[in-house]
Amino acid sequence: MSRPFATAPVRVTVPATSANLGPGFDAFGLALARYDEVTARITDGGLDVEVTGEGAADLPLDESHLVVRAMRRAFDAYGAQPPGLVVHCTNRIPHGRGLGSSAAAIVAGVVLARALSGAEDRAGDTPGDRLGGTETDLTLAAELEGHPDNVAACVLGGFTVAWSEPGVTEAGQPTTRTTALRLDPAPAITPVLIVPAGQLATEQARRLLPASVPHRDAAHTAARAALLPYAITERPDLLFTATDDRLHQSYRAPAMPDSYRILTALRDAGLPAVISGAGPAVLVLATADRKALINALVTEGGRAIYDIGIDSRGVRGVRLRDSQD
């Protein structure tokens, strides 16, 4: 049975994310302190989508918009589609750079639909109520994204290890459940992002990956992946070793030669640098004493350099009064 739709508009804030972090392919994620905001409300009919900021000139304003697609999928999961929607997106996460912009859109849509569908474990619909991510949000978002690394960090904040496994619904139907472990990175870690001007589609980057890798490379990467959660939470001095990858970064180098040159220069200097997600952004899990070295190694021609914090909260939302929408 469907629930009555919420009457108040809802606004969610979703963080940028960096996935893989070197050896944790499709499993590790880190939430970053750069945010998109999406506000939505139920109407009597139709669809109205507005976008400002990143992607405003390029993104569709119809049912194909990724936030709307995620909302539709989540509304189906909660039992009914609303008669109409107004959606306003304020985008600050760069698109096509490996910073989780699609995961942010999907998570925003899923959380908005849950809140607007009335699928909350509480009575009432009070402006000012705070909303966080849930395991259901994570599973729905991972299904839409196709892999759980970015969406886990976006939902939960901090550093996450995510995985999916087969399950069964209450009705006995096969399903896939996504779960994640969240950890707090060491306070000494202050990430630096080097963001090239050009974009790279995740699908293009994935097409460069081989069907198999040498066993020695898989074993090498598995050891580093096992070390990274400890390094990022307790021993930042081990991050250089823990971020060494042989599964995907070198195979993607032809699609982002400038990024790979930056990555190589940083790692040759002993810095724990990785390709952020599918690239082309480069993330350095730096400490404050290494910032001068990073700036000396990376020139800014055609690139933006961000000294960025780690987001510890993940997605959050609030119900608004109509006048605030």
**pLDDT, tens only, 172-209:** 777 788 999 999 999 999 999 998 877 777 777 788 88
Cα–Cα distance measured from residue 7 to residue 320, given in angstroms and rounded to the nearest whole number: 10
Environment class of 117 (CB within 10 Å of its CB; exposed 0-12, middle 13-18, buried 19+): buried
Q: pLDDT by residue (tens digit) across 138-147?
A: 999 999 999 9
Could you tell me the fold of the domain covering 192-307? Alpha-Beta Plaits (3.30.70)
Instruction: Please name every residue paired with 38 in a beta bridge, in sequence order, or none if there are none.
Output: 12, 89
Q: How far apart are CA 325 and CA 316, in angstroms?
A: 16
Q: Taking phi first (over 0 means left), then psi (-120 to 50 degrees means alpha), and beta for anything else, what does residue 235 get? A: beta
Residue 32 contacts residue 157 (beta carbons within 8 Å): no
Residue 307: which pLDDT band, with cuts at 50, 70 and 90? Answer: confident
Q: Does the predicted model carry a pTM greater than 0.85? A: yes
Rounded Cα distance between 64 and 87, Å, is 13
Beta bridge partners of 251: none
What would the mean pLDDT of 239-245 be, rounded to a whole number? 98
Interstrand relation of 316-319 and 84-91 (parallel, antiparallel or unpaired): unpaired
Between 196 and 15, whose confidence is greater?
A: 15
Q: What is the mean pLDDT of the chain?
A: 89
Q: Which string of DSSP letters, residue by residue, matches 265-313?
A: HHHHTT--EEE-TTSS-EEE--BGGGHHHHHHH---TTEEEEE-PBPSS
Helices 149-156 & 101-116 angle (0-180, nearest 10): 50
> Of 201, 159, 195, 202, which Cα lies nearest the Cα of 180?
159
In this structure, the strands spanning 316-319 and 10-19 are: antiparallel
- Residue 173, token pair as written in the block: 């139907």
Between residues 135 and 102, which one has the greater pLDDT? 102
Residue 126 has pLDDT above 90, yes or no: no
Strand 46-53 to strand 28-43: parallel, antiparallel, or no bridges (unpaired)?
Answer: unpaired
Rg (CA), the chain: 20
Of 280, 276, 295, 214, the closest CA to residue 247 belongs to 214
High-pLDDT (> 70) share of the chain, %: 92
CATH number for 10-183+311-324: choose from 3.50.50.60, 3.90.1150.10, 3.30.1490.190, 3.30.230.10.
Answer: 3.30.230.10
What b/e string do you get for 215-245 counting C-beta neighbours within 10 Å, with b at 16 or more?
A: eeeeebbeebbebbbebbeeebebbbebbbb
Q: What is the pLDDT of residue 300?
A: 59
pLDDT in tens, 247-303: 999 999 998 999 999 999 999 999 999 999 988 999 999 988 888 888 888 875 557
Domains 10-183+311-324 and 192-307 share a fold: no
**Residue 130, pLDDT above cutoff 80:** no
Domain positions in the chain: 10-183+311-324, 192-307
